[in-house]
Every structure is written in structure tokens, then in C-alpha cells.
Amino acid sequence: MKSKLRHLILVLGDQLNLDASALTGFDNQQDAVWMAEVDEESTYVVSAKQRTAVFLSAMRHFAIKLRNMKYEVHYSLIDADNNTGNLAGELEKTILLTRPKKLIITEPGDWRVLQSLRSVAQKHLLELEIRQDTYFFSTLNDFTLHTKARKQLRLEFFYRELRLKTGILMDGKNPIGTKWNFDADNRSSFGKQGPGILPLPKRFAPDQTTQEVILLIEDRFAHHPGTLDSFGWPVTREQALDSLHDFIAQRLPSFGLYQDAMWEGEVWLYHSHLASSLNLKLLSPQEVVAEAVNSFNNRLAPLEAVEGFIRQILGWREYVRGIYWMHMPQYVELNSNNVHLPLPHFYWTGQTNMACLRDAIQQTLAHGYAHHIQRLMVTGLYALLLGVSPKEVHQWYLGVYVDAVEWVELPNTLCMSQFADGGLMASKPYIASGKYIDRMSNHCKGCQFNPAEATGHNACPFTTLYWDYLNRHSDALAKNPRMLMQLKNLHRLSEDKKQLIAMQAHQHRSEITA
């Protein structure tokens, strides 16, 4: 160990890239890296076992890589006797031990973590240099500039701006294929015949490091949700690249068409499963998008699929990051519908007789994964229609998914899914009745409820709660032109029917929260 350091480079669990800006200019002779495993990151919201395993295993693999490259790494193990349990405490210990002249970090993704590291730096009168995160297409400043001239923020405009700026899928100033957006072509279900033979998911057998992490989690976080039996997520850059290439070859061509489709028992479908690798920085969004564009250029994937995929990464991923940093810290408290029910207990067990929710939650607990429509239009939709406190919904999403980090999870949950910002991010609440789930999946076929019924013994709770939501919020929603069609259908219902729906919704809420 050096007697006195020049720079202590702080590397967080979601900053596992060798070309991170914080590591630029690293000098083995004068600098060292700090990394820390701490209980707080798995307990400040209860982190499911799969999620904790992805983070700890990926961090340990990254530290091994750095040490193999002769980097001095000060690494706190979560089960070390003197581990203080939080990032601030572990950083303080390393500062006192190494006496650095300066701390350097790449922009953290989490507001809470940034505040805590800043206060440690201040306490020790140390400069904390925060370097730009180059694993995004846009900077936070780009987003601020984008918002300046606008009354209303919408993904579409930011996405087009980034397409123009980067030239991705562009023919000069025009989008390739003459359309910016192929969403309308990307909403197929699998039909009655189902998805047929699906490509096998790319999974990785746990190596020794991962096995140690799994044992540790089974012991230390035994009571945390989920299981580790199926663990197979990429935890190194090499594995993440393998997953990327597999997705591009096997799934991308059908990604667009079946982006929104669901099928009982089918977890992986045509999605990429790359979000955890992207969020941990095992992959850069630039290389992921470049591979998708190559596939289109080589006529291996249709434009609809490639644009649909790129929109998620160049569009949504960049957009939600900007929204998060623009609105934190008060953002997490938003609750425009003023709803306060607790999250139903079955979100932690999957034990419910609503088939769609059961399938989405059980696979979430088994694998730490559900695709976007399951998150938005099954688990998220039900919580929104029921009237669950958005903060509780947020804590669940942040805890259960392997790709969950706050900067991307919070805007998706609070705003896209729960409409807790009253329309700041999405132009309307994503609400639908059980008929939408019936159209996009086969869940309803095996369910005791009927998606076409809003009242009565067999009524689908989604359908009951949907009409009830529209009815309860009709005055506020009437101001939104995009809701007019749905409200028109509501006004076709008789007053008696609306009253029956309100009573059934009330009864359902009482039963669920009893």
C-alpha cells in the first residue's frame, strides 16, 4: 500500500467499466480504487436475492479484474467484522487509512449515494471530483437544455433530438424508413397458437465467485424475497457481450413485433435481458445500439424491430435519467392521485388467484426479471388502479429486479406506471381493463375471472378497477384530450352500473388489504 495517495477512485456497484471516466488517467504508482459491499444497499429497500447476487458477484469479478491489472483496490467485504454497513462508513475508513489528496468518481446514478459520498468528502476536507458518465448518449446538461424551451416534456422530442445529434438510423435530417416511430407495427400478440419454439435464453452457470456470493446471500439475507436456484445472469463484461451477441442474432428480429406480448410461463420471449448489464456498465449503450444498427444494415433484422429496440435505449433510457436528476430529491414523494393503500402482500409471494399477476410476480421472484409490459400493464397497472401508495410501489420495483437502480426505476414506476406526477412525464395514465391483458396474452384463459366482466362473481378485478378509476378521476382526466375516447366509453355506462362497479371495487380493495 502506498504511504499517501494522490487519487482515491470511487467505484460504485453500478460503475463496473474499465473505461469509466473516473479511471481515466489512473496511475498505478500514485492512485488506488475504493469499492465497498455494504448491508445498507440491500436493506434500505429490501433487495431480492437475485438482485443482490448480480451486484455483489459483478463487483467481485470487477475487483479481481482490476487487481489482475495491478490496480491497488481497497475492497470492503460485506461480511467483514469491521464493515460499518454503509458506504459513508466504509469510505471514511479507507480515507483514514490511505490519506488521499483527492477523491474522484464518475457521476453516480443515485441521488442518495451522491449526497452521502459528498458529505464524507466535506467532513474530511477533500475535493470530490465528479466526472461525466460517458455510458450515456446525452449529458445531464443536454437534458436541461432540452427542457428549457419547453412547456411540456415528451420522450418523442428528446428521442428525435438524439437521433439527429447521433445520426443513428438517420438519412441526413430524415429518419430512415421515413418514420420516426414504428410503435404501431410493434404491438402483436402471439395469437391463439402461442409463441411456438422460442430461442433459449443465454444463461451463465455460477462460477466459484458467484457461488460464494450465493452462499453468502442465502445466509445473510435468508429472509429476503426470491430464490437463487435459477441464477444465471451475466456478471462480467465477457458474459454481457455474449448475451448481447446472442440477443442480436436470436431475438432482435422479432423484438419489435412481440415487444408487448405475454405468454403464461414464458419468461424471456424476444426481449434482450440486457438492462442489468447496461445499468452495471458491463455494456455501453453505444455498443448495444451499434450492434442493432449493424444487424439492420446487414439485413438481418427489420427496421421496425431495430427502431423499436433503439427507441428504448436511445430514447426512454436517456429520457428517464434526465427526468430523475431534474426532479430529485422531492420527486420520490410525488402522489398526484393522493392514494395511500399498502402494497398487497401477494406482491412478495405471487400467491393470488389473478393469473396474470401470479405469473408476473412468480417469475419476478424466481429470476429477478419481468419484461416491460408485465411491469407496466400487469403489476404496475393493478397497483395504480387499486390505489397503492406510489412510494410503496417504487420500493417494490427497486427491490425485486436485477436491473433496478433508482435513476431508471423511479421515473418508470412513479410517472410512467403510477402517474404520480400527474402527467409530467407521460401524456396520459397507462390504464386499461382486463381486456387488454386478454388481448396480449393467454393468462385470462386459465383464470377464474372474466376480463369482459366488471361486476358480479366472475368479474376481473382489473376491469372493475379500471372503470372505477375512470369514474373517480373523470373530472381531472376530462382535461386530457388523449383520454376522451376512454371517458366516452365510461359515459355510456348507466349510473346504476357505475354504482355497482364502485361497490365491487370497494369490496375488492377491502378484501385485498384486509
Ligand X SMILES: Cc1cc2nc3c(=O)[nH]c(=O)nc-3n(C[C@H](O)[C@H](O)[C@H](O)COP(=O)(O)OP(=O)(O)OC[C@H]3O[C@@H](n4cnc5c(N)ncnc54)[C@H](O)[C@@H]3O)c2cc1C
| Residues at the interface with ligand SF4 (CB under 6 A) | 354-356, 434, 437-438, 443-444, 447, 449, 451, 460-462
Residue 391 interacting partner from ligand X, ligand SF4, none (CB closer than 5 to 8 Å by kind): none
Helix (H, G, I), strand (E, B) or coil at 127: strand
* Cis omega (within 30 of 0) for bond into 302: no
Q: How far apart are CA 456 and CA 29, in angstroms?
A: 74
Nearer to ligand X, 5 or 301 (CB): 301
Nearer to ligand X, 190 or 309 (CB): 309
Pick out residues in 298-357 that bind ligand X (CB under 6 A).
309, 312-313, 316-317, 320
Element housing 161 (H / E)? helix 155-166
Phi first, then psi: give them for residue 212, nearest 5 degrees.
-65, -40
- DSSP, res 197: S
Short-list 355, 503, 514, 364, CA closest to 438: 355
Nearer to ligand X, 63 or 262 (CB): 262
Residue 279 interacting partner from ligand SF4, ligand X, none (CB closer than 5 to 8 Å by kind): ligand X
Nearer to ligand SF4, 328 or 452 (CB): 452
CB of 370 to ligand X, least distance (A): 7
Cell numbers linked to 223:
429472509
Within a 10 A sphere around the Cβ of 37, how many other Cβ atoms?
24
Contacting ligand X (CB under 6 A), which of 274, 323, 356, 459? Answer: 274
Under the binding rule (CB under 6 A), the answer on residue 279 touching ligand X is: yes
Instruction: Go through 204-228 and write b for each residue having 16 or more CB atoms within 10 A of its CB, e for each that does not.
Output: bebeebbeebbebbeeebeebbbeb
Pick out residues in 119-148 that bind ligand X (CB under 6 A).
none
CB of 447 to ligand SF4, least distance (A): 3
Residue 397 interacting partner from ligand SF4, ligand X, none (CB closer than 5 to 8 Å by kind): ligand X
Residue 60 CA: distances (Å) to CA of 133, 149, 208, 257: 21, 44, 11, 38
Contacting ligand X (CB under 6 A), which of 37, 133, 409, 438? Answer: 409
Nearer to ligand SF4, 110 or 438 (CB): 438
CB 449 within 8 A of CB 493: no
CB 66 within 8 A of CB 42: no
Helix (H, G, I), strand (E, B) or coil at 131: strand
CB of 285 to ligand X, least distance (A): 7
Cell numbers linked to 288:
448495444
Residue 417 interacting partner from ligand X, ligand SF4, none (CB closer than 5 to 8 Å by kind): ligand X
CB of 512 to ligand X, least distance (A): 19
**∠ Cα 362 367 372 (to 5°):** 80
Count of residues interacting with ligand X (CB under 6 A): 28
Nearer to ligand SF4, 316 or 449 (CB): 449
Q: How far apart are CA 111 and CA 120, in angstroms?
A: 15
Under the binding rule (CB under 6 A), the answer on residue 408 touching ligand X is: yes
Residue 451 interacting partner from ligand SF4, ligand X, none (CB closer than 5 to 8 Å by kind): ligand SF4
CB of 176 to ligand X, least distance (A): 19
Q: What is the per-residue DSSP string for 1-51? A: --SS-SEEEE--TT---TT-GGGTT--TTT-EEEEE--THHHHTTTPPHHH
Nearer to ligand SF4, 183 or 264 (CB): 264
Q: What is the per-residue DSSP string for 476-506? A: HHTT-GGGHHHHHHHHTS-HHHHHHHHHHHH
Relative to beta strand 170-171, strand 127-131 is unpaired
Residue 376 interacting partner from ligand SF4, ligand X, none (CB closer than 5 to 8 Å by kind): ligand X
Contacting ligand X (CB under 6 A), which of 59, 66, 278, 437? Answer: 278
CB of 239 to ligand SF4, least distance (A): 35
Options 45-53, 92-100, 193-201, 266-274: segment touching ligand X (CB under 6 A): 266-274
Residue 272 interacting partner from ligand X, ligand SF4, none (CB closer than 5 to 8 Å by kind): ligand X
Residue 437 interacting partner from ligand SF4, ligand X, none (CB closer than 5 to 8 Å by kind): ligand SF4
Q: How far apart are CA 57 and CA 282, in angstroms?
A: 12
CB of 446 to ligand SF4, least distance (A): 8
Instruction: Tell me which amino acid residue 148 is.
Output: K
Residue 371 interacting partner from ligand SF4, ligand X, none (CB closer than 5 to 8 Å by kind): ligand X
Options 178-186, 207-215, 405-413, 450-458: segment touching ligand X (CB under 6 A): 405-413
Sorted by sequence, the CB contacts under 8 Å of residue 210 that are 6+ apart come out as 53, 57, 231, 235
Distance of CA 63 to the CA centre of its chain: 25
Under the binding rule (CB under 6 A), the answer on residue 372 touching ligand X is: yes
Contacting ligand X (CB under 6 A), which of 55, 159, 324, 397? Answer: 397
Site residues (vs ligand X, CB under 6 A) = 271-275, 278-279, 309, 312-313, 316-317, 320, 371-372, 375-376, 380, 397, 401, 403-404, 408-409, 412-413, 416-417
